[in-house]
Amino acid sequence: MAVYTTHSAEETRRLARSFAKKLGAVRQQRALVVGLYGNLGSGKTTFTQGLIAAFGVKEDVTSPTFVIEKIYKIKGKGFSHIIHIDAYRLRSADELKVLGWKEIEAESGNLIVVEWPEHVAELLSRGHLILRFSFINHNERIIEIDYGSPEKTKRKTKKETAGAP
């Protein structure tokens, strides 16, 4: 577990870019799911902006709150798409199932970033990377990243796949 303090939105975006570099080693049979936990305004969308920019996407990343899900085509590190999901307005995992969660989660080229993952917790039972955002003051945020989780996710995914009918 690594704990970072950032002092500006730009610093949070930079942290996301270094996080993106560490994802390079991750190879798995399903999508890599990243859950961004933390209160309103704690920097989840800001971090996602940096992450998406790290994969060379030039377009502006706005909060997908009103569309729930946005898909960006990317190249590199074995990923073909970043899918940014804001589950804030979702009241159950069923609502994300309707948006094709099963299909996007089965695709190993997908990097899925979920804000408010606790709203769709049952869909994340296969394991996901956990990032926690805390608001300290106007410009300061604490961001905890569990870099160890991709391996755990990988092993779990393999075991589950092996045991699946």
Ligand X SMILES: Nc1ncnc2c1ncn2[C@@H]1O[C@H](COP(=O)(O)OP(=O)(O)OP(=O)(O)O)[C@@H](O)[C@H]1O
* Residue 35 within binding range of ligand X, rule CB under 6 A: no
Query: What is the pattern of x (binds ligand X, CB under 6 A) and - over residues 106-125?
Result: ---------x----------
* Residue 12 within binding range of ligand X, rule CB under 6 A: yes
122-151 burial, b at 16+ Cβ within 10 Å, e below that, comes to ebbeebbbbbbbbeeeeeebbbebeeebbe
Contacts of residue 9, defined as CB under 8 A and 6 or more positions apart, other chains included, come to 43, 46
* Residue 45 within binding range of Mg ion, rule CB under 5 A: yes
Give the nearer residue to ligand X in terms of CB position, either 40 or 164.
40
102 CB neighbour count, 10 Å cutoff: 10
Instruction: Retrieve residue 125's tokens.
Output: 């039972």
Stretch 64-103 residues interacting with ligand X (CB under 6 A): 88
Instruction: Retrieve residue 1's tokens.
Output: 């577990």
Q: How far is the CB of 135 from ligand X (least distance, A)?
A: 8
* Residue 38 within binding range of ligand X, rule CB under 6 A: yes
Q: How far is the CB of 61 from ligand X (least distance, A)?
A: 10
Q: How far is the CB of 96 from ligand X (least distance, A)?
A: 16
